[in-house]
A and B are shown apart, each in its own frame.
Chain A
Amino acid sequence: MARIGVFVCHCGENIGRTVRADEVAEFAKRIPGTVYSADYPYFCSAPGQKILAEAIREHELTGVVVAACSPQLHEPTFRGAACQAGLNPFQCEMANIREQCSWVHPDRDEATAKACSIVAATVERVKRAQALTPVQVPVTRRALVIGGGVAGIRAALDVANTGSPVVLVEREPSLGGNMARLSETFPTLDCSQCILTPLMVEVSRHPQIEVLTLSEVEEVKGFVGNFKVKIRKKASFVRAEDCTACGDCVAACPEAVPNEFDMGLAWRKAIYIPFPQAVPSTYTLDADRCLNARLDSETGFRLLACVRCSEVCKPRAIDYDMPDEVVEREVGAIVVATGYKLLAGEPAAECGYGIHPDVVDGLEFERLLSASGPTGGEVRRPSDGKTPEDVVFIQCVGSRDPKRGVPYCSRICCMYTAKHVALLKHKLHDVRATVFFMDVRAGGKGYEEFVQRVAKEERVLYLRGQVSQVVKRNGKLVVHGVDTLSGQAVELPADLVVVALPTGPIRNERLSAALRIPTDAHGFFQELHPKLRPVETLTAGIYLAGAAQAPKDIPDAVCQASAAASKSVELLSQPMLQREPTTAVIDDTHCSGCFECLAVCAYGAIERNEIRDRRGAITRVVARVNPAVCEGCGVCSVTCRNGNIDLAGCTEEQIFAQLAALGPAPPGRDTIEETDEGAPARAADRV
């Protein structure tokens, strides 16, 4: 039988003024199961806690109810005190008779009556409280960073610098991401490559970082602290350890294809290095473009039609039989930094993007500006290589356009367009530059100053307006738009048009399914809380960095990367993770395997558990909770129609007992009005 102690606090006058604490304590004595009760001016004081601890020992209490203030305030205090006296902390509960009783009900009788009822319900709850111990989860001290752009690089370095190993996975042959494509960066106009390349090199040399390029995450199993990740390393057909990066193979290769790194504005060979500063600095044979036909299987080639690269390769680094390799890594934390891409939609097409070669997007223009780009840094238009005289920049081509594009602001376009204008003007002083814009949003450090400077100093026309279409007339592009300030239709000739396309997520269904983290309506990964937990995700141990979560500029992406790294390190720095024991508990003996619990669990804490017979054949598939992942919301328990899922610390037995104690004396049980039939008139007949 439970032996419960009830401690009614006066809280000085705070409770005592309206609740007669001595009467409540006296009442508590009558509740079956209560063996001790006391009232005291301040139970939270040191002598008060001593009374509590002594009573626990002396009366061998199995549960404690402290009727005092809100548990949000002093629950840890009293649980701590009870714990020191030998009770499990979860066998100590508070009855809130201050915030929710004495302070809000001026009538002494009403308040005292209510306090009694709160105490009775809490006693019932504690009687059925189980001792719970925190869930201990071992942690694998290694992080996985997905994405080798600037966010991924930063996160990897930050984690690795604390001494924890990192696996950095990049889909492309080289690290660098979109930032590597940029010419200069706003607002300081320092060279992107110059600041990024050292970081890339640092990563590649870091003893704690394993870089896996040309690789993709295929499968993520496990849970916080204990992920098992399968990564597919695609064959590069060039043995990195043998390749000297001499480039002879490139010269020999007969097949030229558009270079993705240059946004298709230049050519590369089927065997290539994406850009000179690529890390790792090894060559890759693009199996899809190589003249040799690809095997149906994932390894090697079926027929060798051309072996020129191999013939010229002195270190014999070419291996046509190289297979894809699937490696498995165990990690404790995962940082997702998959970055962004530009989205071309209907508004882009109206601006001639994808139709006229001289309509380019921001990244293409970066390459045209870049000293390492296809034009060596000279701005020439793609169609014929002429130097443009009129350049028109169009902002918000799809951004902030809920009907035809995306509703959100892409955040970087205003700034990079200002940068583009500045760089353009530096290179071509006489060019006429016009910017169509909706608003100029320049909310970063030094951003507004930069835009103002560009607008003032660079003789650029900022036109508030919208572009309806871009057409080609007499060999020249004509931009049709409206100056929304004057309401006048505008028609501008252009040699080159730069459209600011929306930044959107890299949609990788397979990855998001593997990670079990949801995406928002636009496909960006969803953070756990937009304000307070912007780095975490619904899946504990998986963090977000950079534009994978939302459009970001470099400083913001790097900032979040460091935050994600910090979160990962927080997790990896402890050998065992302690988690609240108030988790869902499944009794699978009667589970029918509908898995609606799994469907409603936001945390992926429910797993399918196959029960097998002695011969190993699956007899049933039932649900199982992973307490390391469960957050204890209890949504699953309501979904389970036959009540197989309970919630530790808030069990159905406790809830029912509380409900029974909260109500008034049920007349059917109090004064037993039996009919001859024996059916007592029960209060319940009321529903």
Chain B
Amino acid sequence: MREPLPERPTASDAGPAAPQPGWQPNVVAMVCRWCTYAGADLAGTSRLTYPAAVRLLRFPCTGRMNPMFVVKAFEQGADGVLVSGCHPGDCHYVQGNLHARRRFATFKALMEFVGVDPRRLHFSWVSASEGTKWVRVVEQVTAAVREAGPARPPAGGPDSAPPADAETARRPASAEELQALAERLRRVAGELLEQQTASIVLGYTRGTLPDRAVPGFITRPEQAQQLVWDSGCHHNLSVYLPRTRGGEGKVAAVVKRCDVATVVGLLQERQLRRDELHLIGVQCDGVWEGDRLAARCRACDGTVPALCDVAVAAEGARAQQVAVEPDPRDAAIAHLETLSPDARREYWQGEFERCIRCYACRAVCPLCYCETCIAEKHRPQWISPAIDATGNTAWNLVRAFHLAGRCTGCDACARACPAEIRLDLLNRKLARVVEDRFDYRPGTDPAQAPPLTEFRDDDAEEFIL
């Protein structure tokens, strides 16, 4: 009943159809104008030949190439993407390529982790004098893309989800211990308000569902009695800090060890002022969902970091120190990394397919503080608003990438996600990439510069042709 649409005009419409048996790859090359573009010109003036599959896009600098452009290129049907610029030291803008090297190293790891065939995404340094190298790179890239074949939607394969987390030997803190901490916490909070050190205390209060603490905003000393502390205090309350104003007094917040890390991030990124904050660190033996210890807690001893203004901890020596266990997220990542790229893609597309774009991941993330998110930017439309594979994939990739080098692994996003997408694994994977490559661990030092705003002359570039 539907009229078939007329074909989109293609080059072959312009004349006799080209006798193209089978498929020709489509490779988008984003190149910098000073080096690689000039190198490609040199290949031309030298009358070298190379496969016609590659289409060049000219940029001032690799530093101007947003990794999301690569996602866009794939969205638009590219079978492969090549990013190429000046050798280190040759950048017309001195250091643009060095920034790009860090960004793309991180981005490539993300793309590989979500199962983009590594044969589809390439990077190279080609100088203006390297016409022959340009030819070699194009040949190599085209051959690799040809081998990978046409980009196609996931075919649907066997379930390759990571196995369940290993059992924990840890147990929740005893009720008496928690009770004691809660009482101390109430006292501290009450005093802060009483003495007008703080005008508001962000803490946990009892919710309407059983065993579920909820964020509470305490402004009067007597309300401090409403504060609770137990192993159900999941929320990372630092998400409320940038938008909470203390007026005359400071804003006090109840923070766990993991929450402090995001506070550090917010300080680093100038979203908070330390002198307006009063951090009430609480010793935390881990948060539990039923009999499951939260993944992020397994490798955390829960002690109160030095950044806190006041520590609410057990008095005297504790009978038993918290036993630190391996992080189960690492095991899940390791499992996914044993899979083939296709299987990994299958897995992640399965995850993203469930995404309903409620943006709860963003909303609960303390570090997703942008006033208007890139997902809402429509001039141009960075992320398709369509709640389908394209839009969902782009959203989940951009979210993960924007947190690379920043995410402290508090897992608020994964916990909030109604579709149970393993956002924690994406975040954790990128955190490890950043730590391995740039020797940087987020959330430790408020004075540190974020890793993707920096570079080192000797950053690894083994992925660059």
Q: Give A653's nearest chain B residue, CB to CB.
A: B380
Interface membership of A641, Cβ < 8 A? yes
Interface membership of A487, Cβ < 8 A? no
Tell me which of A98, A99, A666 contacts B77 (CB under 8 A). Answer: A666
User: For residue B55, which residues in chain A have a CB less than 8 angstroms away from its CB?
Assistant: 114, 117-118, 121, 662
Interface membership of A390, Cβ < 8 A? no
Interface membership of A51, Cβ < 8 A? no
Q: How far is the CA of A660 from the CA of B69 in the complex (A)?
A: 11
Q: How far is the CA of A24 from the CA of B11 in the complex (A)?
A: 8
Which segment of A101-109, A265-273, A302-310, A491-499 sits at the interface? A101-109
Q: Give A584's nearest chain B residue, CB to CB.
A: B64
Instruction: Determine whether the beta carbon of B38 is less than 8 Å from that of A72.
Output: yes
Q: How far is the CA of A597 from the CA of B52 in the complex (A)?
A: 37
Instruction: Determine whether the beta carbon of B77 is less than 8 Å from that of A642.
Output: no
Which chain A residues numbered 504 to 529 have a C-beta less than 8 Å away from chain B? Answer: 528
Could you mark each residue 1-28 of chain B with 1 if its beta carbon is under 8 Å from any beta carbon of chain A, else 0?
0101101111111110011100010101
Q: How far is the CA of A523 from the CA of B296 in the complex (A)?
A: 43
Tell me which of B38, B44, B270, B386 contacts A104 (CB under 8 A). Answer: B44
Instruction: Determine whether the beta carbon of A26 is less than 8 Å from that of B56.
Output: no
Could you mark each residue 57-68 of chain B with 1 if its beta carbon is under 8 Å from any beta carbon of chain A, else 0?
111110111110
Instruction: Determine whether the beta carbon of B14 is less than 8 Å from that of A23.
Output: yes
Could you mark each residue 369-405 of chain B with 1 if its beta carbon is under 8 Å from any beta carbon of chain A, else 0?
1111110010111101010111001100100001000
User: For residue B60, which residues in chain A have a CB less than 8 angstroms away from its CB?
Assistant: 582, 632-634, 647, 650
Tell me which of B44, B92, B393 contacts A100 (CB under 8 A). Answer: B44
Instruction: Determine whether the beta carbon of A635 is less than 8 Å from that of B61.
Output: yes
- Tell me what chain B mostly uses at the interface: helix, strand, loop, or mixed: loop
User: For residue B389, which residues in chain A have a CB less than 8 angstroms away from its CB?
Assistant: 682, 684-685
Tell me which of B38, B57, B269 contacts A662 (CB under 8 A). Answer: B57
Instruction: Determine whether the beta carbon of A684 is less than 8 Å from that of B28.
Output: no
Instruction: Determine whether the beta carbon of B5 is less than 8 Å from that of A642.
Output: no
Instruction: Determine whether the beta carbon of A592 is less than 8 Å from that of B5.
Output: no
Q: Give B376's nearest chain A residue, CB to CB.
A: A642
Could you mark each residue 639-662 of chain A with 1 if its beta carbon is under 8 Å from any beta carbon of chain B, else 0?
101110001001011011111101
Q: Give A116's nearest chain B residue, CB to CB.
A: B11
Instruction: Determine whether the beta carbon of B269 is less than 8 Å from that of A671.
Output: no
Which segment of B94-102, B190-198, B215-223, B227-235 sits at the interface? B94-102
Q: A655-B69, A687-B74 are in contact. Are A100 and B19 (CB under 8 A)?
A: no
Interface membership of B450, Cβ < 8 A? yes
Q: Identify which of B2, B37, B38, B63 gathers the most chain A CB atoms within 10 Å of its CB.
A: B63
User: For residue A528, which residues in chain B have a CB less than 8 angstroms away from its CB?
Assistant: 94
Instruction: Determine whether the beta carbon of A664 is less than 8 Å from that of B269.
Output: no
Q: Identify which of A632, A635, A660 gathers the most chain B CB atoms within 10 Å of its CB.
A: A635
User: For residue B371, which residues in chain A have a CB less than 8 angstroms away from its CB?
Assistant: 590-592, 642
Closest Cβ–Cβ distance, residue B113 to chain A (whole Å):
13
Instruction: Determine whether the beta carbon of B374 is less than 8 Å from that of A113.
Output: no
User: For residue A582, which residues in chain B have a CB less than 8 angstroms away from its CB?
Assistant: 60
Instruction: Determine whether the beta carbon of B269 is less than 8 Å from that of A20.
Output: no
Instruction: Determine whether the beta carbon of A113 is less than 8 Å from that of B11.
Output: yes
Could you mark each residue 322-341 of chain B with 1 if its beta carbon is under 8 Å from any beta carbon of chain A, else 0?
00000000000000000000
Q: How far is the CA of A600 from the CA of B50 in the complex (A)?
A: 36
Could you mark each residue 243-267 of chain B with 1 if its beta carbon is under 8 Å from any beta carbon of chain A, else 0?
0000000000000000000000000
Instruction: Determine whether the beta carbon of B390 is less than 8 Å from that of A670.
Output: no
Instruction: Determine whether the beta carbon of B449 is less than 8 Å from that of A599.
Output: yes
Which chain A residues numbered 86 to 126 have a C-beta less than 8 Å away from chain B? Answer: 96, 98-101, 103-107, 109-118, 121
Q: Give A30's nearest chain B residue, CB to CB.
A: B9
Instruction: Determine whether the beta carbon of B26 is less than 8 Å from that of A687.
Output: no
Instruction: Determine whether the beta carbon of A662 is less than 8 Å from that of B14.
Output: no
Instruction: Determine whether the beta carbon of B78 is less than 8 Å from that of A109.
Output: no
Q: How far is the CA of A590 from the CA of B93 in the complex (A)?
A: 27
Tell me which of A72, A599, A671, A681 contacts B5 (CB under 8 A). Answer: A671
Q: How far is the CA of A467 from the CA of B443 in the complex (A)?
A: 49
Instruction: Determine whether the beta carbon of B12 is less than 8 Å from that of A113.
Output: yes
Tell me which of A113, A600, A671, A683 contacts B18 (CB under 8 A). Answer: A113
Closest Cβ–Cβ distance, residue B91 to chain A (whole Å):
8
User: For residue B78, which residues in chain A have a CB less than 8 angstroms away from its CB?
Assistant: 659, 662-663
Instruction: Determine whether the beta carbon of A105 is less than 8 Å from that of B52.
Output: yes
Could you mark each residue 667-686 of chain A with 1 if its beta carbon is under 8 Å from any beta carbon of chain B, else 0?
00111101000010111111
Q: How far is the CA of A528 from the CA of B95 in the complex (A)?
A: 11
Tell me which of A104, A638, A656 contacts B103 (CB under 8 A). Answer: A638
Interface membership of A258, Cβ < 8 A? no
Q: A109-B20, A665-B10, A687-B394 are in contact. Are A634 and B63 (CB under 8 A)?
A: yes
Taking residues whose C-beta sits less than 8 angstroms from the other chain, chain A's interface range is 35 or more
Q: How far is the CA of A71 from the CA of B402 in the complex (A)?
A: 34
Instruction: Determine whether the beta carbon of B75 is less than 8 Å from that of A121.
Output: no
User: For residue A23, which residues in chain B have a CB less than 8 angstroms away from its CB?
Assistant: 11, 14-15
User: For residue B48, which residues in chain A have a CB less than 8 angstroms away from its CB?
Assistant: 104
Interface membership of A447, Cβ < 8 A? no
User: For residue A96, which residues in chain B have a CB less than 8 angstroms away from its CB?
Assistant: 41, 56
Q: How far is the CA of A118 from the CA of B11 in the complex (A)?
A: 11
User: For residue B384, which residues in chain A have a CB less than 8 angstroms away from its CB?
Assistant: 684
Instruction: Determine whether the beta carbon of A27 is less than 8 Å from that of B52.
Output: no
Q: How far is the CA of A600 from the CA of B77 in the complex (A)?
A: 32
User: For residue B318, which residues in chain A have a CB less than 8 angstroms away from its CB?
Assistant: none
Instruction: Determine whether the beta carbon of A684 is less than 8 Å from that of B270.
Output: no
Q: A112-B14, A118-B55 are in contact. Are A659 and B377 (CB under 8 A)?
A: no
Q: Identify which of A26, A633, A641 gathers the most chain B CB atoms within 10 Å of its CB.
A: A633
Instruction: Determine whether the beta carbon of A656 is less than 8 Å from that of B56.
Output: no
Closest Cβ–Cβ distance, residue B228 to chain A (whole Å):
32
User: For residue B49, which residues in chain A have a CB less than 8 angstroms away from its CB?
Assistant: 104-106
Closest Cβ–Cβ distance, residue B26 to chain A (whole Å):
5
Tell me which of A115, A594, A633, A641 contacts B271 (CB under 8 A). Answer: A594
Interface membership of A140, Cβ < 8 A? no
Instruction: Determine whether the beta carbon of B57 is less than 8 Å from that of A112.
Output: no
Closest Cβ–Cβ distance, residue B380 to chain A (whole Å):
4
Which chain A residues numbered 324 to 370 have a C-beta less than 8 Å away from chain B? Answer: none
Q: How far is the CA of A601 from the CA of B73 in the complex (A)?
A: 27
Interface membership of A637, Cβ < 8 A? yes
Instruction: Determine whether the beta carbon of B52 is less than 8 Å from that of A111.
Output: yes
Instruction: Determine whether the beta carbon of A652 is less than 8 Å from that of B380.
Output: yes
Could you mark each residue 52-77 of chain A with 1 if its beta carbon is under 8 Å from any beta carbon of chain B, else 0?
00000000000000000011100000
Q: Give A680's nearest chain B residue, CB to CB.
A: B388
User: For residue A632, which residues in chain B have a CB less than 8 angstroms away from its CB?
Assistant: 60
User: For residue B26, which residues in chain A have a CB less than 8 angstroms away from its CB?
Assistant: 662-664
Closest Cβ–Cβ distance, residue B38 to chain A (whole Å):
6
Instruction: Determine whether the beta carbon of B44 is less than 8 Å from that of A633.
Output: no
Q: How far is the CA of A289 from the CA of B47 in the complex (A)?
A: 75
Q: Give B152's nearest chain A residue, CB to CB.
A: A686
User: For residue B154, which residues in chain A have a CB less than 8 angstroms away from its CB?
Assistant: 685
Instruction: Determine whether the beta carbon of A103 is less than 8 Å from that of B5.
Output: no
Interface membership of B357, Cβ < 8 A? no
CB pairs A–B below 8 angstroms (30 shown): A23-B14, A30-B13, A70-B44, A72-B33, A99-B45, A100-B56, A103-B44, A104-B44, A109-B12, A112-B11, A594-B269, A596-B269, A599-B450, A600-B63, A600-B99, A633-B93, A634-B61, A635-B96, A635-B99, A638-B63, A642-B370, A659-B73, A660-B76, A662-B26, A663-B26, A664-B26, A671-B5, A684-B74, A685-B390, A686-B77
Q: Can you list the 10 inter-chain pairs with the closest CB atoms, starting with the nearest?
A: A634-B64, A99-B44, A684-B390, A109-B18, A633-B93, A635-B63, A116-B11, A663-B77, A113-B11, A663-B76
Additional A-B contacts beyond A23-B11, A621-B270, A686-B75 (4; CB < 8 A): A99-B45, A107-B52, A633-B92, A641-B374
